[in-house]
Amino acid sequence: MLKIKANAITNLTDARYFAAKEVEWLSFNFIENAPDYIEPMRARAIFEWVEGPKILGEFATLTDDELTFYTEGWHLHAVEVGARAQREQLSTKPKVELIKEFRIEPFTNPDFWKRNDRLAFGSRCF
């Protein structure tokens, strides 16, 4: 089953629109200085008015204390950490879904396909 995550939610109108489309997650970016950053209090006010989708918070990195604060205090269903975040930064197993960003860089090495022939693009998954 295809799961869709609506990124960069910054207003109630978008949140309700995607909730009506039955997306899996509404994603709020809590990475300061990011172009689609939303203040946590504003995000909370939005997702308290929406039913259906799971609420996901995006973070560059996350400590154990931050994970507990956002998942238990704010009732996030999932958290996403940046591509550079290390699993070792969390000493406890999260009680929510933990999603790690995966970046695909431009392929400039001609030997890439020889080493990675199991990757598929387009309508297929990695």
Output the DSSP codes for 12-45.
Answer: HHHHHHHHHTT-SEEEEE--TT-TTB--HHHHHH
Tell which CATH architecture fits domain 5-103: Alpha-Beta Barrel (3.20)
Residue 116 has pLDDT above 80, yes or no: no
The most confident of the ranges 39-43, 60-64, 88-92 is 39-43
What pLDDT score was predicted for residue 124?
Answer: 37
Residue spans of the domains in the chain: they are 5-103
Element (H, E) at 112: helix 112-115
Q: Is residue 67 within 8 Å of 30, Cβ to Cβ? A: no
Between helices 12-20 and 40-47, what is the axis angle to 10°?
40
Element (H, E) at 64: helix 64-68
Q: What is the pTM of this model?
A: 0.73
Q: What mean pLDDT do residues 54-81 have?
A: 84
Using 50, 70 and 90 to split pLDDT, how confident is the model at 120?
A: very low
What pLDDT score was predicted for residue 125?
Answer: 37
What pLDDT score was predicted for residue 115?
Answer: 57
What pLDDT score was predicted for residue 11?
Answer: 96
Query: Residue 88 class from Cβ within 10 Å (0-12 exposed, 13-18 middle, 19+ buried)?
Result: exposed
Element (H, E) at 66: helix 64-68
Using 50, 70 and 90 to split pLDDT, how confident is the model at 35?
A: very high
